[in-house]
Structure 1
Amino acid sequence: MLRSVLARYRNTLVIVAASVLTGAVTWHLLSPVPAPNLAQPKNAGQVLALTQSWAKGDVIALVRHGERCDRTTTPCLGLADGITVHGEVVVQELGANFRQLGLKNADIYSSELTRARQTADAMFIRPVEAQDWLFNCRGTMLRDALKHKLPGRNLVLVTHSECMDALEADMHVPTDTTFGYGASLFIQDDGAHGPQMLGYIETKDWSNITPMVTPVLHGVEASQF
């Protein structure tokens, strides 16, 4: 009789343990994951998805402004609410990376705040229109970005870390990623399947992105990454 009781007790423990393990695995699989860091080799597939989507004009890129003048002792570029001289140099290089991606098929907007406008001026040769929704963005960032995204054209938005967090929240992506100055967050929107998170690149990591190939209309070419 004791043996029978012990057997039933053991079977109950096995069932409980299996249920707990199954629940833990299910929670892990279904829980939201942060935006992928595209500089990590394990995310090479996301880099390829980015290059392919960019070639089709299906990407929205959010770029955080350059280094703030009011939070460092580094010399200011101009007004105290703008970016630093060092920050300008960094985002000029960032602009060169975006030009390698290709900007002929891209619409570009910036926040109205000085630090965002100075960043856009340093990154891009052509004038960039400033818009209020790229600063006042809580709860509306994804909606407004999709509203300004034209079919077959990439959209580049010079904005703020709060708005990048707001976009992640709108997409139900964890907002625990801390975006550095000049960080670029990419999502895919082909107009058919809803926006998809691609990942982000910090300014220091652009040169480390794994080279990929980008399909084009007449064959393949090496990605400018």
Structure 2
Amino acid sequence: MLKRLSLRFVAVFALCLLVTSAMLWPSSPQNLAVEHRLLTSGALAAWRSGRLIVLVRHAERCDRSDNPCLGPIDGLTRPGGASAAAVGSAFHALGMPHSDVFSSPATRTLQTSRLMFAKVHVLPDRQTLCGRAIVHDVYTHKLVGRNLLLVTHSGCISDLERALGYPHADNAEYGSSLFVELTAHGKLKVLGSVASQDWHLALEQLHAYAGTGITRNGLTDL
């Protein structure tokens, strides 16, 4: 009887540990578009100081959708193009003077990056700023005092998340953005992500924040 009780206690204790671990170690980065997290996470301050690395997944690809193509079959859908332009407007509302934009050379990422940001630096191949060396590579591309934005693929975003402590994160959605801070100690810290459809919530946080320079017209345009 005592042995059975002991086994039950161990089982309950192990279950409690699993539940606690799941709560303390979330599988995916937090959503910055809600609960004022764009502000409380430090993402806005880091953006204004040029300390952010932001990985943006391309918009909806046409070869995996029934929606009409924007152009080539290996590019975006028309709704994907509209979504990319809206996300670009959100970043411009944050302010782009201190940001450098790079893009994977794939058709869908090039279309996305040009609709979002117009002028971009095209990387030599898809594996640049991707794969196991992604942490090292972002350090080499990130300039002091300037944000680094990369329009890329879900697999590359997963590579960075895995390297920074999120090995079980959900795959990045079309047009979503992962925010990573380069701290004063030279470490990379995941702050969270914003889905393409949630940018209006994120910008509403900024509009409520004194001194952002975000206007109601800017919010309405999104």
Task: Identify whether the pair has TM-score above 0.5, normalized to the shorter chain.
Answer: yes
Question: Which shows bigger deviation, 169-178 or 88-97?
Answer: 169-178
Query: Which of 8, 28, 32 is residue 34 of structure 1 equivalent to?
Result: 28
Instruction: Find the counterpart in structure 1 of residue 205 from structure 2.
Output: 211
Query: Which of 196, 211, 217 is residue 221 of structure 1 equivalent to?
Result: 211
Instruction: Find the counterpart in structure 2 of residue 183 from structure 1.
Output: 176
Tell me, in whole angstroms, the C-alpha distance in 1 between the residues paired with 2:127 and 2:140.
16
- Post-superposition offset of 1:39: 2.5
* Aligned CA distance change for structure 1 residues 188 and 214 (closer, same or farther; 3 Å): farther
Q: Find the residue that maps to 1:221 and give its secondary structure.
A: coil
Instruction: Find the counterpart in structure 1 of residue 94 from structure 2.
Output: 101
Structure of higher CA gyration radius: 1
Q: Find the residue that maps to 2:45 and give its secondary structure.
A: helix
Instruction: Find the counterpart in structure 2 of residue 116 from structure 1.
Output: 109
Q: Find the residue that maps to 1:139 and give its secondary structure.
A: helix
Instruction: Find the counterpart in structure 2 of residue 198 from structure 1.
Output: 191
Contact 1:32 1:174 in 2 (8 A): no
Instruction: Find the counterpart in structure 2 of residue 61 from structure 1.
Output: 54
The residue correspondences of 1:63-78 to structure 2 (distance < 5 A) are 63-78=56-71
* Aligned CA distance change for structure 1 residues 201 and 19 (closer, same or farther; 3 Å): closer
Tell me, in whole angstroms, the C-alpha distance in 1 between the residues paired with 2:86 and 2:24.
38
Which sections of structure 2, spanning at least 5 residues, go unmatched?
A: none
Which sections of structure 1, spanning at least 5 residues, go unmatched?
A: 1-5
| CA RMSD of superposed structures (Å) | 3.0
CA deviations over 1:89-120 (Å, ceiling 9, x no partner): 11111111010111110011000111001111
TM-score normalised by the chain length of structure 1: 0.80
Q: Find the residue that maps to 1:222 and give its secondary structure.
A: coil
- Post-superposition offset of 1:26: 6.8
Tell me, in whole angstroms, the C-alpha distance in 2 between the residues paired with 1:192 and 1:142.
15
Tell me, in whole angstroms, the C-alpha distance in 2 between the residues paired with 1:63 and 1:138.
16
Contact 1:67 1:84 in 2 (8 A): yes
Instruction: Find the counterpart in structure 1 of residue 122 from structure 2.
Output: 130
Aligned residue type for 1:183 = S
Instruction: Find the counterpart in structure 1 of residue 84 from structure 2.
Output: 91
CA deviations over 1:100-152 (Å, ceiling 9, x no partner): 11111001100011100111111113x21111465452212222112111111
Identity percentage of aligned residues: 34
Tell me, in whole angstroms, the C-alpha distance in 2 between the residues paired with 1:189 and 1:21.
36
Aligned residue type for 1:221 = G
* Aligned CA distance change for structure 1 residues 146 and 64 (closer, same or farther; 3 Å): same
Tell me, in whole angstroms, the C-alpha distance in 2 between the residues paired with 1:175 and 1:110.
25
Contact 1:134 1:163 in 2 (8 A): no
- Post-superposition offset of 1:171: 0.6
Q: Find the residue that maps to 1:81 and give its secondary structure.
A: coil
- Post-superposition offset of 1:176: 2.8
Q: Find the residue that maps to 2:211 and give its secondary structure.
A: strand
Number of residue equivalences:
212
- Post-superposition offset of 1:175: 3.3
- Post-superposition offset of 1:47: 3.6
